[in-house]
Structure 1
Amino acid sequence: MSSKFGGFASTLVYLNLSSSFFGGRVPLEVSRLSKLVSLDLSSEYYQPPVLDKVTFGRLVGSLTKLRHLTLDGIDMSSINTSHALMNLSSSLRSLSLSDCDLRGKFPSEILHLSKLVSLDLSWNFDEPIDKVTFDRLGRNLTELRQLSLSGINMSSITPHALMNLSSSLRSLRLKNCDLRGDIPENIFKRPNLKLLDLGGNQNLNVPKLNHSSNLEVLGLSDMSISTEVLDSVCSLQSLKHLYLIQASFPGGRGFPLSIMNLSSLELLYADGAQFSRGVSVLPVSIGNLVSLQYLSLSNCSLTGSIPTSLGNLSQLSVLELSVNQFGGKIPSSLANLRQLKYLNLGDNQLEGRIPDEDSLRYLNLAHNSLIKVEQLPWTVLDSLDLSCNAIHGHLPIPPHGTTAFLISNNSLSGEIASLICNVTSLQILDLSSNNLIGVLPHCLGNFSNSLSTLNLGMNKLHGIIPPIYAKDCQLSYLNLNGNHFEGPLPRSIRNCRELEVLDVGNNKIKVSKGCSNNEPPPSNLSGGNDGSNSNITFGWKVVVIGYGCGLVFGLIAGYVVFQTGKPKWFVTLVEDQQHGRQKNPKIGNRSGGRRI
């Protein structure tokens, strides 16, 4: 992060650098922006910026006009929380310090910020919040409308103490707080409360609810919920978003039909939910939830056919049914979903035609029983995964705008058509473990300035590797293992300055002993004698021998999202599936897409 921001000291009132992937230390010069009213430095970078105690002390001491401060994801582990927060301006209206690695006790010093409307201290602190501090929080912060304490140990707080919180609360997030006992029904009846997340509190008992609740968003993920309680939840006519991720339903006898009563439901996120002890069938009546925009039922032990009634959900933009036991044909009615952007039917036993809906941006049909693919029909498609099927015939060519195309572990035959080089936006191309023959098209080395992953391993390709890698080559992963290539590595491969993985094992490639300037290549890298004069000079970081069936979702996400900046709906879904800590998915809306 540049130290030049101090040059704006006399004018800047609003600064938002959220999710900008900046690293290093937050510069002291930020504290010179004395006119700032709003500052957002939040980060989701895996190496977050560091905010030390000196800079933070100057920041809170100098920025006296601040009304909104957001530092989510910033490393603040070196800061003494109690002393630092004591000096925050009493005029603050919103403070968000989620996931900042703050340690020790919950800071009672925060309670002097009586004008706070929004407070997020989630996923911090080593020690439980005590009863006295929590009671004062309710008495002092009477204007709070949004409160998130997710991930903070509240085992010493009785659920009835939640009734002392501000009556103005519209949003209350208490995910994974180790709350125990019976939560009072009156919490659900608060007239202003629209969002309540209690997920992950496995020792918390949720009561049967009545129709008087105004809740629009409810999180009960990773909890054990009786069918009677779920039936009462499904009587809440105002409910729009319901989170049941990895929830279990003792006594359940299949997919709960009471969910069909939620006529206003826009989002159902229930990945990993255990609806019964065995398998369940997705009922035809799912097509009655005509307001649904987001339906995610991955890994729910669902079997039978995918209901054709899903074609009635005209507002649906995300459909996630992967890792189930669906069989039969992919319903042709899915082509009716004109708003559908994301479709994941991977890891089932499906067959038949691929839905040809033009609106799709992400399609995953990996690990199914597809046999034949006609010419791919879409005009716009960011990511297409057809790996691990039984597809035969010639290699289909993806749409021009595709950034990730995976069709490994099939039975494709014939040559790689040079038409593939027309897909100039490709970043990931995986054609490995097929029966492709012939020589590589000469255009394959330089047709795309963005191609970072190329896997042609385990085919029957032959000839030399074309010497056509352009100076702006972006390849970081190149796998040609298990073919019949011969001759030397081309000199032009040294133009690939980003190359981290190169696998040319099990060929007849000649590689000079001087090709590595960091580590010696493994012995199987050369299929012939080491007599070449290639003199490749790039640095080896990793050399691998290939991998199993298809790329993992995380690799696709890493390239497709973080290198290209995909739409918010895609970023949100990726991060909800991939974020390593149990704090996600968060409910709500925050820049960066982690919350829905």
Structure 2
Amino acid sequence: MNNSIEGGIHSCMEGMHNLRMLDLSYNHLTGKIPSFFFNNLTMIEYIYLSNNQFMGMVSFSIFANLSQLLGVDLSNNVQLEVETQHPHWVPTFQLQRLSLENCNLNQLSSRTIPSFISTQLNLLQLNLGHNSLKGTIPSWLLYNTSGETVLLSGNLLEGSIPQSTHNTTSSVRFLDISENNLSEPLPTNIGTLFPQLNYFNLSKNILQGRIPSSMGEIRHLQVLDLSSNNLLGEMPHQLSKNCTQLVYLNVSSNRLQGDILPIDANLTRLQYLLVSNNNFTGIIPSSLLNSPDLMILDMQKNTLSDTIPSWLFSLPKLVSILLGHNFFRGHIPIQLCQLSNLHTLDLSNNYFSGNIPSCLNSISSWKKADQIQISDIFLTRTVFHPRPSTSFTTKGFTYSYEGLPFSLMTGIDLSRNQLEGDIPFQIGDLGELLSLNFSNNLLTGYLPQSFQNLKSLESLDLSHNMLVGRIPYELSQLDSLGAFSVAYNNLSGKIPFENHLTTFGKDSYEGNQDLCGPPLERNCSLEIPSQPPRDEGKKSRVLDNPVIFYSFVVMSYALGFWGVIGFLILNKNWRHKYFRAMDAYIDRSTEKLLEFSRYLKNCCFK
């Protein structure tokens, strides 16, 4: 296993009469699997030939007489064709494990599910995924065996999940029928049919109807993925109240409506809540406070409203908050800065107002490299390695991130809101950011020179604001930038079209009437106002703080007042001179006033 062995299966192995396990998986073996090879291996129990480069066609009947056989794995031999229906044969074995994933199964037999599986009553693990199998799912596949794991993803199966023909329940714990063509509603009694389920994946089908309330009867359910279907109606109250073991809940890309979770939801172990691209209304449910381990919250593309509650940021493990394309309003809570592990923040396409919090540099995961740690979920004998998939817009496109790219992705998207004020210069401290989008807001002020520290930045969009001043020369040193736009602002002066900025066209700068130089066609001249870059330190001057400013005024007044009065009190000589001078000034002023009044009387009142 996993030794980079090349060539074919050596003929000398067929003489190993007492061989019980043959594991040649994860090598570079080629050629055909010889049909005569297994005739003499009568004691063999396990045959693992997966993840090689075998080719040609092999009939599963070559294993028919291996009565001791317990496990077969021919998966991921992409040039191999496995035929189970012809010629006709009767198995003498009772398998416990069978994996025929991605091996061109039954292409000569209308790509049907192998019928011999109906005789395998001890089958615990079955994987027939990614073979383009057609037809409906037979009832015996889910109810007649003692199977714990049934994987049918990546096929062309139709219809719906079958009912039991003998009023029996299924023992399946791990069921994956994702990426098929199931179109009919889910059975209303699905909770009764599959009471032992830990993992249930029906994503990427075309399921209709509602999520049955009986889903709440599957008390041990830990992973539920119903995303990318045509499900409608509301989330069943029983699901979020009774399925307290749920760790992963994904109902994204359906037509669900109403509240996301009821007020008494009790999902105490929930780590992943993915409900994007639905018609959910209302507010962010306060029942999420019962989910202290929540890591990923994806509520994009719904019709949620109101403000973001500050309590949301008391959930310490949040690494991804995606609330874009809703109707949220109000200010962005400064409590956001408490989330030291936050990697991706999307508040775009809402109605947020006020300033961008200047404390974002408190989020350490944007300042130093920190990979998201995704915990495994243990499901009886099977370990589920979550690969949460979320969408994030960067470089002008929306990408779906999962696995390692997801764990490394960092970004802030506050675009298309009503944010105002200056861009906080503290953003320049976020050296691990990959994507930053503040476009389509009401931002004013200058481009912070501190952005020169964003060495990892791959996408920067500040377009469609009211920014002024020059483009800092230092931005030309950001060698990682793959997308850049400051279009449609009030920027002026010569574009620092050097180094990495030469890779961007005029679209990145258009809509700034006072910008000049390449790549724009407007030549620089003395008529174009030239504003020196503002000293960014002014943003942090001591006197800019109102408390300090007014304290300074009071102190200055006190010092000036007591500097004069105190001196007069302490020095008798100067005090007498000061009073004589003041008396003389008052006498002269009185005399002048009397003269002016006599003049008015003589000239104007005769």
Q: Establish whether TM, by shorter chain, passes 0.5.
A: yes
CA deviation after TM superposition for structure 1 residue 147, in Å? 0.3
Classify the secondary structure of the residue corresponding to 1:515: helix
2:133 alignment partner in structure 1? 224
1:136 alignment partner in structure 2? 37
2:82 alignment partner in structure 1? 179
1:344 alignment partner in structure 2? 250
**1:315-330 alignment to 2 at 5 Å?**
315-330=220-235
Classify the secondary structure of the residue corresponding to 2:297: strand
1:255 alignment partner in structure 2? 161
Are the aligned partners of 1:446 and 1:473 in contact in 2 as well (CA < 8 Å)? no
Classify the secondary structure of the residue corresponding to 1:179: strand
Aligned partners of 2:452 and 2:498: how far apart in 1? 6
CA deviation after TM superposition for structure 1 residue 386, in Å? 0.2
Are the aligned partners of 2:200 and 2:223 in contact in 1 as well (CA < 8 Å)? yes
Cα gap change, 1:232 to 1:163, in 2 (>3 Å): same
Per-residue deviation, residues 92-134 of structure 1 (Å, max 9, x unmatched): xxx225xx6x87x535389599678352435856x54253xx5
Per-residue deviation, residues 269-292 of structure 1 (Å, max 9, x unmatched): 0012224xxx31101221011110
CA deviation after TM superposition for structure 1 residue 189, in Å? 5.4
1:298 alignment partner in structure 2? 203
Code of the residue aligned with 1:339 in structure 2: it is Q
1:145 alignment partner in structure 2? 46
Aligned partners of 1:523 and 1:219: how far apart in 2? 48
Matched, 1:331 2:240: no
Are the aligned partners of 1:480 and 1:503 in contact in 2 as well (CA < 8 Å)? yes
Aligned partners of 1:233 and 1:520: how far apart in 2? 50
Aligned partners of 2:472 and 2:330: how far apart in 1? 32
Matched, 1:435 2:339: no
CA deviation after TM superposition for structure 1 residue 166, in Å? 8.7
Q: Which protein has the bigger helix share?
A: 2
Are the aligned partners of 1:236 and 1:262 in contact in 2 as well (CA < 8 Å)? no
Code of the residue aligned with 2:152 in structure 1: it is L
- Of residues 268, 287, 297, the one that matches 2:191 is 287
Aligned partners of 1:379 and 1:340: how far apart in 2? 13
Per-residue deviation, residues 444-485 of structure 1 (Å, max 9, x unmatched): 233333472111111111111111147563212111111122
Aligned partners of 1:449 and 1:253: how far apart in 2? 46
Per-residue deviation, residues 234-258 of structure 1 (Å, max 9, x unmatched): 3423111111213334xx6543224
Aligned partners of 1:529 and 1:455: how far apart in 2? 22
**1:427-506 alignment to 2 at 5 Å?**
427-450=343-366, 452-469=410-427, 471=429, 473-506=431-464
Cα gap change, 1:294 to 1:520, in 2 (>3 Å): closer
User: Max radius of gyration: which structure?
Assistant: 2
2:105 alignment partner in structure 1? 201
CA deviation after TM superposition for structure 1 residue 319, in Å? 0.3
Code of the residue aligned with 1:368 in structure 2: it is N
Code of the residue aligned with 2:32 in structure 1: it is I
**1:488-567 alignment to 2 at 5 Å?**
488-509=446-467, 510-517=470-477, 518=479, 524-525=486-487, 527-531=489-493
Cα gap change, 1:477 to 1:141, in 2 (>3 Å): farther
**1:41-440 alignment to 2 at 5 Å?**
95-97=1-3, 105-106=7-8, 108=10, 111=13, 117=21, 119-122=23-26, 124=28, 128-129=31-32, 131=34, 135-136=36-37, 139=40, 143=44, 145-150=46-51, 152-163=53-64, 167-175=68-76, 176=78, 177-180=80-83, 182=85, 190-191=93-94, 193-197=96-100, 200-203=104-107, 204=109, 206-207=114-115, 209-210=117-118, 213-221=121-129, 222-227=131-136, 230-249=138-157, 253-258=159-164, 261-275=168-182, 279-288=183-192, 289-335=194-240, 336-355=242-261, 356=265, 357-373=267-283, 374-375=285-286, 376-377=288-289, 378-396=291-309, 397-398=312-313, 399-440=315-356
Per-residue deviation, residues 324-360 of structure 1 (Å, max 9, x unmatched): 1111111111121111100000011112222341211
Cα gap change, 1:493 to 1:202, in 2 (>3 Å): farther
Classify the secondary structure of the residue corresponding to 1:494: helix
Per-residue deviation, residues 182-226 of structure 1 (Å, max 9, x unmatched): 167877652354334355414155225545531111223334355
TM-score (norm 2): 0.64
Code of the residue aligned with 1:318 in structure 2: it is V
Code of the residue aligned with 2:338 in structure 1: it is N
Code of the residue aligned with 2:275 in structure 1: it is L
Aligned partners of 2:453 and 2:189: how far apart in 1? 57
Aligned partners of 1:240 and 1:372: how far apart in 2? 39
Cα gap change, 1:392 to 1:536, in 2 (>3 Å): farther
Per-residue deviation, residues 147-171 of structure 1 (Å, max 9, x unmatched): 0335644433233223366944434
Are the aligned partners of 1:513 and 1:530 in contact in 2 as well (CA < 8 Å)? no
Aligned partners of 1:340 and 1:116: how far apart in 2? 40
Are the aligned partners of 2:11 and 2:37 in contact in 1 as well (CA < 8 Å)? no
Aligned partners of 1:285 and 1:124: how far apart in 2? 47
Aligned partners of 2:423 and 2:60: how far apart in 1? 67
2:562 alignment partner in structure 1? none
Cα gap change, 1:159 to 1:195, in 2 (>3 Å): closer
Classify the secondary structure of the residue corresponding to 1:195: strand
CA deviation after TM superposition for structure 1 residue 406, in Å? 0.3
Aligned partners of 1:174 and 1:444: how far apart in 2? 48
Are the aligned partners of 1:304 and 1:325 in contact in 2 as well (CA < 8 Å)? yes
CA deviation after TM superposition for structure 1 residue 422, in Å? 1.9
Aligned partners of 1:239 and 1:309: how far apart in 2? 22
Aligned partners of 1:542 and 1:343: how far apart in 2? 41
Aligned partners of 2:84 and 2:123: how far apart in 1? 21
Aligned partners of 2:433 and 2:90: how far apart in 1? 55
Are the aligned partners of 1:162 and 1:187 in contact in 2 as well (CA < 8 Å)? no
Classify the secondary structure of the residue corresponding to 1:358: coil
Cα gap change, 1:499 to 1:139, in 2 (>3 Å): farther
Per-residue deviation, residues 286-321 of structure 1 (Å, max 9, x unmatched): 101111000001122111111111111111110000
CA deviation after TM superposition for structure 1 residue 391, in Å? 1.0
Are the aligned partners of 1:267 and 1:292 in contact in 2 as well (CA < 8 Å)? yes
Cα gap change, 1:534 to 1:174, in 2 (>3 Å): closer
Are the aligned partners of 1:501 and 1:541 in contact in 2 as well (CA < 8 Å)? no
Aligned partners of 1:239 and 1:108: how far apart in 2? 34
- Higher RCO by CA contacts (8 Å cutoff, separation 6 or greater): 1
Are the aligned partners of 1:196 and 1:218 in contact in 2 as well (CA < 8 Å)? yes
Are the aligned partners of 1:297 and 1:321 in contact in 2 as well (CA < 8 Å)? yes
Aligned partners of 2:49 and 2:418: how far apart in 1? 56
Code of the residue aligned with 1:326 in structure 2: it is L
Are the aligned partners of 1:192 and 1:214 in contact in 2 as well (CA < 8 Å)? yes
Aligned partners of 1:521 and 1:225: how far apart in 2? 44
CA deviation after TM superposition for structure 1 residue 413, in Å? 1.2
Are the aligned partners of 2:203 and 2:226 in contact in 1 as well (CA < 8 Å)? yes
Code of the residue aligned with 1:403 in structure 2: it is V
Question: Which consecutive residues of structure 1, in runs of 5 or more, have no partner in the other structure?
Answer: 1-94, 546-596
Measured on the aligned residues, the alpha-carbon RMSD in Å equals 3.7
TM-score (norm 1): 0.65
Are the aligned partners of 2:415 and 2:438 in contact in 1 as well (CA < 8 Å)? yes
